Amino acid sequence: MDTLNEKKEPTPALGIKDKYLEQLHSDFQLVSEIVLTQISMASSLLHQDPDEAMLLELKRNEKIINSLDITIKEKVINAIMLFTPRASDLRRLMAYHDMTISMERVGDLIENITHLLQEIDFTMEGFENYKKLLDKMFVQTNKMIKNAVFSFAGGSNEMAYETIHMDDKVDKLDRKIERKLAEGFANETHSTQSLINIMNINSISYYLERIGDKAVDIAESAVYLIEGRDIRHVKEPNPKKVNP
């Protein structure tokens, strides 16, 4: 058989709706990657002073996140108006909308954390251990965001539920930091820098805890897409088996 002259079957072209959803997915993947980059760069400020290039990149990335947030929301609205989507496509569109809101909020929280970290002096006596605790929170929240995004992209409800259950660890670290700050510095006379350290460490811990909550929101949106059920107000959500 002359395979060189054999005609190949043409690959069916994607329809307009499919191309639109594919583009929407690409936009969401981009905003996810930028947010994860922001988390990584912010966590590096625990161990090094920022240079001008890093600060500029953090600011530039935040602007891109805000721009993509607006773009994705507009595309979701346009898709609903143009394509009259069926139930499964509508769930996907609403998932993009809700997850993008969460991603944009994570970007804002990281921006706040970045400013606060630049004001802390971890070399002061009594503050070194807080760097390690915050580092653990960064690692955990970064993992939660990654897992939540992957659970959506890969259609894995098990990974989504795993992300939701991971939130307890972040909450415990937040409470531990708050308790240690209250107990460790309660009866001391503080310098201005010491007070800045205490307030900023407490705020950063709270913001990281909120990032964990946003990861849970994304995971819940993934469950809504995969299973078609809203688990936001379920006390102990359990995975529902999904037929392959």
How far is it, in rounded angstroms, from Cα 102 to Cα 145? 10
How far is it, in rounded angstroms, from Cα 170 to Cα 213? 9
Would you list the domain boundaries of the chain? 16-227
Summarised one tens digit per residue, pLDDT across range 83-108 is: 888 888 888 898 899 999 999 999 99
Averaged over 211-222, what is the pLDDT? Answer: 94
Using CB atoms within 10 Å of the CB of residue 85, give its burial: 0 to 12 exposed, 13 to 18 middle, 19+ buried.
middle
Averaged over 208-213, what is the pLDDT? Answer: 97
Does pLDDT of 172 surpass 90? Answer: yes
**Residue with more model confidence, 83 or 137:** 137
CA angle 161, 165, 168 (to 5 degrees): 160
Q: At what angle do helices 87-117 and 192-227 cross, to 10 degrees?
A: 170
pTM for the predicted model, two decimal places: 0.86
Using CB atoms within 10 Å of the CB of residue 83, give its burial: 0 to 12 exposed, 13 to 18 middle, 19+ buried.
middle
CA-based nearest residue to 209, from 176, 237, 167: 167
Contact between 198 and 190 (Cβ < 8 Å)? yes
**Residue with more model confidence, 208 or 232:** 208
- Position 141 scores a pLDDT of 96
Tell me how many helices (H) and strands (E) the chain has.
Answer: 6, 0
Select the CATH number that applies to the domain covering 16-227 from these four: 1.20.58.220, 3.40.630.10, 1.25.40.10, 1.20.120.330.
Answer: 1.20.58.220
> What tokens does 225 get?
């897409």
- Position 87 scores a pLDDT of 84
Distances (CA, A) of 99 to 71, 95, 124, 216, 221: 13, 6, 39, 10, 7
Give me the torsion for CA of 155, 139, 114, 199, rounded to 10°: 120
- Position 243 scores a pLDDT of 47
Does pLDDT of 62 surpass 90? Answer: yes
The DSSP call for residue 241 is P
Does pLDDT of 181 surpass 80? Answer: yes
- Position 51 scores a pLDDT of 87
Summarised one tens digit per residue, pLDDT across range 21-61 is: 889 999 999 999 999 999 999 999 998 888 889 999 999 99
**Residue with more model confidence, 66 or 237:** 66
Output the average pLDDT for the chain. 88
